[in-house]
Amino acid sequence: MKIEATDEFRMRIARHAALSDPARLRIVDLLTLGDFSPTELQAELGMPSNLLSHHLRTLEDAGLAVRRRSEADRRRSYIRLASGALEGLVPGVEHEARRVLFVCTRNSARSQLAAALWGQASQIPSVSAGTHPADRVAQGAIEVARRHGMDLEGRLPRTLDQAVEGGDFVVTVCDSAHEELPGLGGAHWSVPDPVRAGTEEAFEAAFEDISRRVQDLAPRVLAA
């Protein structure tokens, strides 16, 4: 049998090898929902930190996972699935929810965009809220939504207390909100703050990141 050992083929072999370990497969299952810090993964898996570090390095070397520094607590990092990591592979977990609630700190950009994008991808209702809401939706978010055929005009930031209901699947979309609300459940997406950068490019990057995550998660959240 003749096998052409291209770079792409070798990467596929490395990914399959990485996923052959039960612990790494479980980590990837978790990462299909959102981003986790190493400490959160350690608590979820009940695994010693040195063993977890080994598994994370293997996943990163195989191109399955990447990490970025928290925008809130710079000592913390978050592990996420690499873009396109699971193309051709099927994630293994589904969740039931009455509604999806997207949360960030100011409820002025990322959570508003996530709720609007979710409305295009799923029939399950979505809302957004903030832990410390701004007075209005960021102009950059309104403009990037408009460029992609969506309308955020007239939306107002809301507090988490005003929005949350029983049966919500909660997705935090900023590090500050996630770290302020430990144990909230659901999922976390470590999306860089476009308002902080204030550029059109930053809002486009946030939109594309959230859009991809919504498309990945929507088929796996079932109506309760």
Rounded to an integer, the average pLDDT of 92-112 is: 91
pLDDT digits (tens, 9 = 90+) for 9-56: 777 788 889 999 999 999 999 998 899 999 999 999 999 999 999 999
Q: How would you class 12 by CB atoms within 10 Å of its CB: exposed for 0-12, middle for 13-18, buried for 19 or more?
A: middle
- Report the chain's terminal Cα–Cα distance, integer Å: 50
pLDDT digits (tens, 9 = 90+) for 181-209: 987 778 999 999 999 999 999 999 999 99
Look at the domain 95-223 and name its fold. Answer: Rossmann fold (3.40.50)
Q: Read off the pTM.
A: 0.79
7-81 classified as CATH 1.10.10.10: yes
Domain locations along the chain = 7-81, 95-223
| Amino acid 182: pLDDT | 82
Q: What angle do CA 108, 80, 192 make, to 5 degrees?
A: 25
Element (H, E) at 54: helix 49-61
pLDDT digits (tens, 9 = 90+) for 60-80: 999 999 999 999 999 999 999
**Separation CA 200–CA 203 (nearest Å):** 5
pLDDT higher than 90, residue 116 = yes
- Residue 198, SS3? coil
- Residue 211, SS3? helix
| Amino acid 1: pLDDT | 46
**Separation CA 205–CA 196 (nearest Å):** 13
- If one counts every other C-beta atom within 10 angstroms of the C-beta of residue 182, the result is 7
pLDDT higher than 70, residue 165 = yes
Q: What angle do CA 186, 36, 9 make, to 5 degrees?
A: 115
